[in-house]
Amino acid sequence: MSSVQPEVLQATAVDANLKSYEEARRTFDWSEVEKAFSWHTTGKVNMAYEAIDRHAEAGLADKIALYYSDANRREAVTFGQMKANSNKFGNVLRKLKVAKGDRVFIFMPRTPELYAALLGTIKIGAIVGPLFEAFMEQAVRDRLEDSEAVAIVTTPALLPRVPVRDLPHLRHVVVVGDSAEVGAEHVDFYKEMEQASEELAIEWMDREDGLILHYTSGSTGKPKGVCHVHNAMIQHYYTGKIVLDLKQDDIYWCTADPGWVTGTSYGIFAPWLNGVANVVRGGRFKPEDWYGTIVDNKVTVWYSAPTSFRMLMSAGDDLVKQFDLSSLRHVLSVGEPLNPEVIRWGLKVYNHRIHDTWWMTETGGQLICNYPSMDIRPGSMGKPIPGTEAAILDDSGNVLPPNRMGNLAIKTPWPSMMRKIWNNPAKYEEYFRMNGWYVSGDSAYMDADGYFWFQGRVDDVINTSGERVGPFEVESKLVEHPAVAEAGVIGKPDPLRGEIIKAFISLRAGFEPSDELKADIAKFVKLGLAAHAAPREIEFKDKLPKTRSGKIMRRVLKAWELGLPTGDLSTIED
Ligand code: PRX
């Protein structure tokens, strides 16, 4: 919001799919994009068909769709094979009497099987719920319970975290593993796949039918099931073209896991709707493996996150020099604020501008972005994609002029917008409380030239390493620990992870503060909820600041932490 001249990194790409952002904003029409799909004429649709089968049937059956690798496995899957494998899995589910609209969860690490299962689920019209492999039993249970899931696909290693008791709707547990590890009460994935037909009658859907459920966190309550529909493909396809700048010969790598929305919208749908080869690297983050993945696959377009870029930055410039990264032509980022310093570093070591993109689980697709053919102002998320409108609103829903900070909002609708919060219409309506606008929960401002600048969250949601964590969920888990009387959780700024989770805890009578107790409490959350939800810092307090109605005031905890004034304490307990 300063008046000094912003730093500008000039557009370099001369042959970008989006030639002129300004012109596209004037002339763009979503109905033109729809014509790319076969359903434009029939009105019936299936995301998995458009992503895979359509290309297999149009002469690309032998083109590689998936380049998979992890420490022990390396495999390439063609569009033709992906079509056959997903058809088979669709048949496996049909045999189990799974039907259109049923919820099917996929809880396993990234492997070629995950992708076949996810697409097969979509092909029979079921709604797929991908779950991150780090989730522990409670997190899995919350999601299966809320969505009344009928089936889950998992691996022997994750099976102990799949609750089967007290989930009356859950009829099938499909296990992807060695037959010896598959119990009689489970469905043996490989055995069933072997017997299943490669021919499948695809379930043709209406464009507004359910496609996918991604659970995400808010500042209160349990995680909420954000439901997207098949219609989202219009935006996935289009942003794949103009933001990812995908072209037929690209080798594209999105580093996100399908348990998070980036790993599906841009790790599955966008590249394959564009018929582009998609790289998947299994296993954990290691700088050498990541650079190796770019070299081995000759990755051209790379979509990752600020935390990863910061970790690569701290791994050093010398490491970069050991790898030939010359295949890269376009680099992008999402999930958290992208530090200008990281962009400058990227320009120096990769010789590429890192293009920031802003969107959310709820938005289903990219909305505010930097484009290859547009100047970048480091620190800005960019400008809204053609066909959408973004604005900054005050708390009454009035549009604010440039350079004023307020609520970042998007004019409704857009093709990939969520269509409901599972089981929770009231929560859904909350997002749209400001007449015709979707209110993101982020605060931002727009400069005089239309660039948007992220400022923070307006609620207490924590963003740690690009993963969204609700403080309430962590607090609820913490108070289950026998030593914990009360807990308040905040995001504490961290140079590498953006934020880390910090818990303030008051102990029950008879428990004394100690480092061992801290470690034990952190482990309790890690094992009970998920590793990324465990507090990295714990501070014991005799008492926590509370409102008179007993609500812990995270705002005060945050102020303590940052050494800031605590502000209005008129509602505090004592
Ligand atoms: O606060 C914003 C931040 O991540 C939130 C959305 O998180 P999630 O639903 O998990 O989706 C992440 C990936 C789509 C937003 O409300 N966020 C996302 N992108 C950016 C960002 N913050 C700053 N800059 C971004 N580019």
Among 336, 366, 438, 465, say which to mutate for ligand 1: greatest number of ligand atoms within 8 Å of CB.
Answer: 336
Instruction: State whether the beta carbon of 214 lies less than 6 angstroms from ligand 1.
Output: no
* Calpha distance 326→303 (Å, rounded): 16
Which residues make Cβ contacts (< 8 Å) with residue 395, sequence separation at least 6? Answer: 406, 407
Instruction: Report how far residue 338's alpha carbon sits from residue 319's, in angstroms, rounded to the nearest whole number.
Output: 22
Does the interface ipTM go beyond 0.85? yes
Centre of ligand 1 to C-alpha 337, Å, is 8
498 in Cβ contact with 306 (< 8 Å): yes
The span from the CA of 148 to the CA of 168, in Å, is 8
Beta carbon of 381 within 6 Å of any ligand 1 atom: yes
The tokens describing 434, both together, are: 């400001």
Q: Which residue has the tokens 């004429």?
A: 41
- What residue's CA is closest to ligand 1, atom 5? 360
Q: What is the CA(359)–ligand 1 centre distance, in A? A: 6
DSSP alpha helices (H): ranges in 74-188? 79-95, 112-123, 137-147
361 lines ligand 1 (CB under 6 A): yes
Task: Answer whether 440 contacts ligand 1 (Cβ < 6 A).
Answer: yes
Strand bridging mode 251-254 / 301-304 = parallel
Integer Cα distance of 60 and 143 in angstroms? 37
Q: Looking at ligand 1, which residue's alpha carbon is closest to its atom 14?
A: 360
Annotate 540-570 with b (16+ C-beta within 10 A) or e (fewer). Answer: bbeebbbeeeeebbbbbbbbebeeeeeeeee
307 close to ligand 1 (CB < 6 Angstrom) = no
Nearest CA to ligand 1 atom 15: 360
Dihedral sign (CA 20, 22, 25, 28): negative
How does DSSP classify residue 116?
A: H
**How big, in percent rounded to 5, are the helix, strand and coil portions of the chain?**
30, 25, 45
**Centroid of ligand 1 to alpha carbon of 244 (angstroms):** 17
Residue 467 alpha carbon to ligand 1 centre in Å: 9
State the closest ligand 1 atom to the C-alpha of 468, by its place in the atom list counted from 1: 10
Residue 344 CA, ligand 1 centroid: distance in Å:
21
Domains by residue range for the chain, with CATH: 21-445 (3.40.50.12780), 462-562 (3.30.300.30)
Q: Are 433 and 439 in contact (CB under 8 A)?
A: yes
Instruction: Walk along the chain (574 residues) and give the pLDDT tens digit of each residue.
Output: 445 677 999 998 779 999 999 999 999 999 999 998 988 778 899 999 999 999 999 999 999 999 999 999 999 999 999 999 999 999 999 999 999 999 999 999 999 999 999 999 999 999 999 999 999 999 999 999 999 999 999 999 999 999 988 899 999 999 999 999 999 999 999 999 999 999 999 999 999 999 999 999 887 778 999 999 999 999 999 999 999 999 999 999 999 999 999 999 999 999 999 999 999 999 989 999 999 999 999 999 999 999 999 999 999 999 999 999 999 999 999 999 999 999 999 999 999 999 999 999 999 999 999 999 999 999 999 999 999 999 999 999 999 999 999 999 999 999 999 999 999 999 999 999 998 999 999 999 999 999 999 999 998 999 999 999 989 889 989 999 999 999 999 999 999 999 999 999 999 999 999 999 999 999 999 999 999 999 999 999 999 998 777 788 898 999 999 998 876 665 555 5
Instruction: State both tokens at 319.
Output: 């490491």
Q: Whose CA is nearest to atom 11 of ligand 1?
A: 360
